[in-house]
Amino acid sequence: HLVIVRFLTMLVGAGGNAGNQASVRVIRGLAVGTIDPSNPKRVLKRELAMGAALSLILGVAGCIRAAVFFTPFMETVAITTSLLMIVSISIILGAMMPLGMKLIGIDPAHSSTTIQVVMDILGVFITVCMSSLVLDSGFQHVLFGSFID
């Protein structure tokens, strides 16, 4: 499905940027003392809410972009689903990485660049997995039945 390749930079770029923003929010909180690494639940709860909202907004934007380029319906589903997952996972990892680095004695500032690389690799992996699931398996018929025939 060659059409997925046209959206790959958008997908991995969104993941890297979202993760980096989450990481910077946590790094700043650690630096000014508003975040305590011994109690990550509050931070993760806030970042989960942020991730859900941002995933939804970017998912809609990605879906609109796919529609503007006349991307077939099932490829649009694969792209949008990949984008939702990539951004959500990126924000969670971006928030957890500085906390984890601080706990093991590594400067949390390194997490902002690390999340970019991690999400580039993970973003491609998620896109391939979601595209295979949605496009190359019988899963599409379970979800959409006769709508796609």
- Selected residue with higher pLDDT from 141 and 83: 83
pLDDT at 58: 86
Give CA–CA dist 63/83, Å, rounded.
Answer: 9
pLDDT of residue 141: 66
Q: For the whole prediction, is pTM greater than 0.75? A: yes
User: Please, are residues 90 and 115 in contact by the beta-carbon 8 Å criterion?
Assistant: yes
9-62 pLDDT tens trace = 999 999 999 999 999 999 998 889 888 777 778 888 888 898 889 888 988 988
The answer to whether the beta carbons of residues 6 and 75 sit under 8 Å apart is: no
Who's near 91: CB < 8 A, 6+ residues apart?
A: 18, 19, 21, 22, 47, 48, 50, 51, 54, 55
